[in-house]
Each structure stands twice: as structure tokens, then as C-alpha cells.
Amino acid sequence: MLWLGSNEETKAVVISSAIPTVYSAGLDLAEVHNPNPERIPGFWQSFQEMWLIFNSFPKPIIAAITGSAPAAGCIIAMGCDYRVMARGPKDTTKINRLYHIGLNETKLGLVAPPWTVPAYCHLLGSRQAERMLQLGETPLADDAHKLGLIDEVAPDEERTIEAAYKQAERFLSVPQKPRLMSRELVRREYLQMLASDKDRKRDTDAFMKMVLNPEVQHNVERYLERLKSRSRK
């Protein structure tokens, strides 16, 4: 991702998914369930780095949300400059479900990364964000649009990609230096929470303490069992 920021041939970036019905299912729960303590710091620091890169990326970055985006999938979209989301799949004869998005960490027995909460509040408003974080709500695309979590709804995946490219052109139509400075003014708070090595280590230590908690491990295990039971149906 970093090299795209310095590549002169790259004017903008559209983040989509090659997996049908899923934009991103979030972090790999295999890393969280019965985790290896030696792997946790590198795992979490990579996630921190992704957030910092997205929120300070020097070119327009558009989320083409072509499937459901819970947890870290939502976080990826939040780091973009604009979010277009498909209402559901184009071929409803094979898969007939509507897509959803949101920070649902509490349903997994976890807590959303603290450095994502200001962005969530910024998009939704503090009261809506507080309730949705507590309950782990993941609204459908039309509801997410009404709430402000996404910027635009498209009927299906194909038209989501088309809309994302149009928005990339729109973001490129203004002078880039003042655009980036304006974005930095708004997102400064998000970035400051991970500004120093000390900040990132403190956050990593807090995450490690959380995932190693026996109660959290029990909740994650129960969630994984529910996913397995659904896949067998």
C-alpha cells in the first residue's frame, strides 16, 4: 500500500474485495483464539500501521464495499476518504442476502480499538456510536447511509465499483495539497492516539491483556462455534 502513495502513475486507490458477499470479515480470529503471546504484538502493530497509512494516505482512497464489512472490515472503510456500499449481490438466485457494516466487536467478546472510536463518533454522532458500539450493531447498507456511516449506496457490486471510480475522479478534481491539509485537520485526533512508539506499545499491551483474558477467550470460542454451526446448515 505504501508504494502506491509514492508511485507517480497511481492517482487514486479503490479498495474492494475479490471475495463474493464479503468486503472484509475482519481480523483473523485464529490469531485471537488461544493466541501465541509472541505473535500478538506483530499482529496488532500491523493493524495499527494499516490505520495510520489509510488516514494519512497522500492520494484519494475510496472504499468500494462489495459485501458485508463487520469489525475490521468497517475499520478499513472508515479509513478511506469516501465509502460506497453495495446493497446486496447482483445475482440473488445464488445468494439472497443484504450486506451489513459496523463495529460488532462486543458480540465477539472484544472491544473496538480505542483509536477507531473517534472516527466512528465523527461519522455517526456520539450517541449513535455509543449505542452501536455497546450492542455491536451492524446496519444494512441503506440504514448505514442514513446514519452517515457510508456515503453512498449502489444496487450491486458492479455499480459499486463504478461509483467508486467516479468519486475518485471527483476527489482528484480539487487541488490535492489543500485537500490533504483539510483532511488532516479533521483526522488529527485519530492519528495522535498512535503518534509515538510509546502510544502504540501502550495500545498493543492493552490489546494483549484483553485477548489473553480467560473470559474473552471463552466468548471468542463461543462465537467461533456459532459460525461453524451456521456453515454446516
pLDDT of res. 231: 61
pTM more than 0.85 = yes
Q: How many domains is the chain partitioned into structurally?
A: 1
Quick: pLDDT tens for 45-90.
Answer: 999 999 999 999 999 999 999 999 999 999 999 999 999 999 998 7
What pLDDT band is residue 26 in, cutting at 50, 70 and 90?
confident
The whole-angstrom distance between residue 156's C-alpha and the CA centroid of its chain comes to 20
Q: 92-111 b/e with 16+ CB inside 10 Å = b? A: eeeeeeebbbbbbbbbbbbe
CATH code for the domain in which residue 118 is found = 3.90.226.10
pLDDT of res. 233: 54
Contact assessment for residue 106 and residue 62, using Cβ atoms and an 8 Å cutoff? no
Helices 117-124 and 176-192, interaxial angle, to 10°? Answer: 120
Q: Structural domain of residue 176, as residue ranges?
A: 2-232
Considering only the C-alpha atoms of the chain, give the largest distance between any 2 of them, rounded to a whole number of Å: 53
Q: How confident is the model over 133-145, as a mean pLDDT? A: 97
Terminal-to-terminal C-alpha distance of the chain: 38
The whole-angstrom distance between residue 93's C-alpha and the CA centroid of its chain comes to 28
Task: Write out the H or E segment, with its range, that includes residue 205.
Answer: helix 197-211
pLDDT of res. 1: 62
